[in-house]
Chains A and B, each alone.
Chain A
Amino acid sequence: MSGVEGAIFGHGFFDSATVHVALAVGAAVALVSGVVGVFAVIRGQAFAGEALSDVGATGASAAFLIGAPSLWGFVSAGVGAAAVMELIGIQRPRGRDLATGIVLGASLGLAALFLYLDTTYHSTTGATATILFGSLFAIDSSTTPVIIGLSLVALVLVVLVQRPLLLSSLNADMAAARGIRVRLVGALYLLALAVAVSLSALTIGAILGTALLVGPAATALRVTKRPGTAMLIAPLIGVAATWLGVVLAYDSFYWPPHGHGWPVSFFVVAVILSLYLLAGLPRRRRARAVAAPDGVR
């Protein structure tokens, strides 16, 4: 390994099975979150995503309590919550935030109870940190195919219904007048959102789950005004941030306190925020250039 590569990728980076799993799972989850996130921003459902992520945490902490894989806890609770939200009418613009807020509050309360019981019965605080803040390095390699499979299903679903979904998101009546089944399309999207958020909660933590959903999408909206391009750029930003996060976390093993790597989730979120801020720079300069000549506006 050459000197430059050695400086970037820590010793044994490419040989580590843990790293392989982290890169594969991270990429799959970032891809689906990026595409789903573009619509979450257009539809104003980022808050719903947050709630689904929190419900996922409840499921995961319950799964930990009974000794089941946290993957199934996250996904079943997230999808179940999406179904409940659909039934109580989260698709209607009004009442959406209220219904979401109630679900979110109740689920976090339950998560607090389950995590307390986890810590008490299993005499470990690991569950709390892993569920709330995630760890790409702690993913059971046997669940990798399931995670990638679920990501692909959600990704294909959203790509397939993208045009009906886009028009329904812009105006429900306009979509319905063109024969689009707005309710069905909205429910399918909510399902994809639940899967994407559950998986990203699993990888970077329930609390940070929406960062992978909203961050890359918001960054993409800053650099493009085409819906198709945004759906392409957002997942790429997500994958770049996740992989860069993995590399940095691996390197941080030699950072203080020596011998303990920093959390991957921290790096992923830090990279996402940096890219978002970077994407805003050209626009701000442009705005200043436009405002300067006449100075009236």
Chain B
Amino acid sequence: MSDPRLAAVGQEILAIEGVGVRLGGRDVLKDVSFTILPGEFTGLIGSNGAGKTTLFRVILGLRSPLSGSVRIGGRQRSRRNPLIGYVPQKYVLDPDAPLRARDLVGLGLDAHRLGIPRPTRARRDRIDEMLAAVDADGFANARVGSLSGGEQQRVLIAHALISRPRLLLLDEPLANLDLRSGHDIVQLLARIAAEQQIAVLISAHDMNPLLAVMDRIVYLAGGRAASGTTAEVVRGDVLSRLYGHRVDVLHVHGRVLVVAGEHDDDAGRDREGFARAVRSVS
């Protein structure tokens, strides 16, 4: 059970402490702190521009924070951290590109290596095993560019998982999927988190598809973050403090809507949020 890459067993896989990021003179993130335990399923929720992708880039070591610390597996973050698997937000590939699903998964094993790849039996078996684990064995030999959005997500998840990470970051994986594929991906990720004790951190602008499987929610608004269980975080008083103005949390048939309070008249963004909420009800 113990992984030599972890500093100590049983402690948090990700610890973010007081992280602040300034971009173009604007504080995108201010004093963001939260922790994630091994095998936990965490939703990083926030509207567009709330800083979700920026936070991911900080965790990946692609951007340095202005302040605060990020510890992964008990150690300071670094580039090429083998403990992290990453699935990017947008992935557009030419349908003609010569790349099969299994080639992309294989790149997860040895893309950092130089020279000509040597196909071995063991490598092939490991790729097959990974493709089967994400239910992608049916299109293992199809061109990645010709796959549907949901199929591509599965292949990308296999690419991220094949190097045996302990923390899987997924940036808006449900953004371009239909409801059915989105639901399937969430179930798959919840299964991986539980079975392999891999912590999953998934960003989304809508928390509803994740409500049933989230162990923890990190809610980003106004550059700040609130974290805890959904019951602790998704409350009118907590979110109002985060947004800096009054918001109400409505529960409709098991779904959650966050809407701007009635005294707020300046924020177009919240009107947008309200419109989205109305759409998700209907």
Contact = CB atoms under 8 A, between A and B. Distances in A.
Interface string B106-124: 0110111111110000000
Contacts of B86: 173-174, 177
Contact of B88 (A171, A224, A227): A171
Given A221-B96, A225-B98, A227-B103, A167 B60 contact: no
A178 B80 contact: yes
Contacts of B159: 174
A229 B98 contact: yes
Nearest to B142: A225
A171 B111 CA distance: 12
A59 to B, nearest CB: 31
B114 A221 contact: no
B7 interface: no
B112 A178 contact: yes
A153 to B, nearest CB: 16
A296 B47 CA distance: 39
A86 to B, nearest CB: 20
A226 B116 contact: no
Interface stretch (A23-31, A154-162, A248-256, A266-274): A154-162
A100 B60 CA distance: 31
Interface residues of A, number: 32
Give the dominant DSSP class at B's interface. loop
A167 B107 contact: yes
B175 to A, nearest CB: 15
A227 B96 CA distance: 11
A169 to B, nearest CB: 9
A51 interface: no
A230 interface: yes
Nearest to A230: B98
Residue of A44, A162, A230 with most partner-chain B CB within 10 A? A162
Interface in A121-138: none
Contacts of B60: 173, 176-177
B116 A162 contact: yes
B71 interface: no
Interface in B41-68: 57, 60-62
A118 B163 CA distance: 59
Contacts of B114: 160-161, 163-164
Interface residues of B, number: 34
Contacts, number: 90
A225 B100 contact: yes
A224 B98 contact: yes
A89 interface: no
B242 interface: no
Contacts of A225: 98-100, 141-143
Nearest to A163: B111
B103 A226 contact: yes
A184 to B, nearest CB: 12
B73 to A, nearest CB: 16
A167 B107 CA distance: 7
B62 A177 contact: yes
B94 interface: yes
A166 B107 CA distance: 9
Contacts of A164: 111-114
Nearest to A162: B116
A234 B60 CA distance: 36
B278 interface: no
Given A159-B116, A225-B143, A178 B98 contact: no
B97 interface: yes
Residue of A171, A180, A229 with most partner-chain B CB within 10 A? A171
A179 interface: yes
B194 interface: no
Contacts of A178: 80, 108, 111-112, 163
Interface of B: 57, 60-62, 79-80, 84, 86, 88, 91, 93-94, 96-100, 103-104, 107-108, 110-117, 141-143, 159, 163
The 3 closest A-B pairs by CB, nearest first: A179-B80, A167-B111, A230-B98
11 contacts: A42-B97, A164-B114, A166-B111, A170-B99, A170-B104, A171-B88, A176-B62, A179-B80, A222-B96, A226-B103, A228-B117
